[in-house]
Amino acid sequence: MGLKRFILRRLVEIAVIFFVIMTVLFVLFRLAPGDPVDRMVDPSMTPEDAQLLMESMGLDKSVWAQYIYYLKNVATGNMGVSFHYGEPVIHILMDRLPNTILLFTTSIILSALLGVFLGKIAAWKRGERTDTLMTIGALFCHTLFLPWLALIMIWLFSYRVGWFPITGMVSPQVWIDPEAGLVSKAADVLHHMALPLMTLVLIHFGSYLLVMRSSMLETLKDDYIITARAKGLDEKTIRDRHAAPNAALPVVTSVGLSLAFSINGGALTETVFTWPGIGRELVFSVSHADYPLAQAAFLLIAIVVLVANLLVDVLYAYLDPRIRY
């Protein structure tokens, strides 16, 4: 099967899966306990005004009518209006999305680079003390409970030492200062981002290290590595230019999927560090029965994950010429 035909088939599969996800989300949110109207109705509101409110949200229609209206809105990009904010959902998500991408994409890339670098060294030093220490360290960091580690980092580096801000993404005094330039504002964001970034890297680099180490050990058994040694190539060249690029293929898959799932912003991370991203809004919308905002957030995550899977498959074929669809 050619690559173009494979992409077309995967696009059809993605469309079907996305339709199923839309339907499941619609059903789940209608079965969830709690009435969003009850949260929005003012006690002084008359029954007529409450009825008008329900009509404006389409909640007076039958479930089937709501479903058709919901599909039509998704198809046209109209995700509705947030019950809590009173703003179009798409505006809220697009406002939070860059914050999530900045923090989590940076953390995943740094984690992957660190994990690949240490993983190839651990595999090359298999059975030695270096390998043992790196493997134990990776397992320890990977199994840490993220909220606990985040609170420890805040207590140590923010409260005790005072190196980093405790919460938030920016310092208001910097951003309202008319004399503050772009460099000062960027430095302020990086200052706030440092602590959650360190926490995420500590949690995630271990998984990439272990994947790289395992893949590298398998690659070192291949015939072309034996041939490279027979040609008299030095060990560093064999490790970095022959073994490592092929061993990194599973890491590429892991990074691609991690980037996709990071779009939800890691609800726990954003909540603990009060980082204004998609994950925090997702938690807020679910806890406050803000159905349009919650549905749109889940659909955004689904779209990114599905597209990322396709891109990873295509990238795999590009990196490894042996793979054909």
CA distance 94 to 97: 5
Q: What is the mean pLDDT of residues 227-244?
A: 73
**pLDDT over 80 at 119, yes or no:** yes
Grade residue 323 by pLDDT with cuts at 50, 70 and 90: low
15 and 119, same domain (yes or no): no
In angstroms, what CA-CA distances link 189 with 37, 57, 115, 174, 262?
A: 38, 38, 25, 10, 19
Q: Enumerate the H helices of the chain as residue ranges.
A: 3-31, 36-40, 47-56, 63-75, 89-124, 129-142, 146-153, 172-175, 182-219, 223-230, 235-237, 244-247, 249-261, 267-272, 278-287, 291-319
Q: End of a domain among 19, 44, 75? A: 75
Residue 65 has pLDDT above 70, yes or no: yes
User: pLDDT category, 160, cuts 50, 70, 90?
Assistant: confident
What is the per-residue pLDDT for 10?
A: 82
Q: Count of domains in the chain?
A: 2
| pLDDT at position 192 | 85
pLDDT of residue 317: 65
What tens digit of pLDDT does each residue of 73-94 get? 788 777 777 777 778 888 888 8
Nearest in space to 275 (alpha carbons), one of 102, 108, 144: 102
Residues 100 and 182 in one domain: yes
* pLDDT given at position 95: 86
- The pLDDT score that the predictor gives to residue 33 is 61
Instruction: Tell me: do 46 and 132 sit in the same domain.
Output: no
Residue 28's pLDDT is what? 79
Q: Are residues 7 and 152 in the same domain?
A: no
Last residue of a domain, one of 31, 49, 75: 75
**pLDDT tens-digit readout, 9-60:** 888 888 899 889 888 888 877 776 655 555 555 556 666 666 666 665 666 6
Last residue of a domain, one of 75, 100, 117: 75
On whether both 143 and 225 belong to a single domain, the answer is yes
Q: In the prediction, which pLDDT does 36 show?
A: 56
More confident residue, 279 or 176: 279
Q: Which residue has the higher pLDDT, 235 or 34?
A: 235
Give percent of the chain with pLDDT exceeding 70.
81
| 228 and 102, same domain (yes or no) | yes
**Do 170 and 22 fall within a single domain?**
no
Whether residues 40 and 154 share a domain: the answer is no
Instruction: Report residue 73 CA to chain centroid gap.
Output: 25
Mean pLDDT of 248-269: 71
What range defines the domain where residue 305 resides?
A: 92-319
What's the pLDDT band for 276 if we cut at 50, 70, 90? confident
Quickly tell me which residue has 């995700």 as its tokens.
79
Residue 7 has pLDDT above 70, yes or no: yes
Tell me, yes or no, whether 27 and 138 share the same domain: no
How does residue 141 score in pLDDT terms, banded at 50, 70 and 90? confident
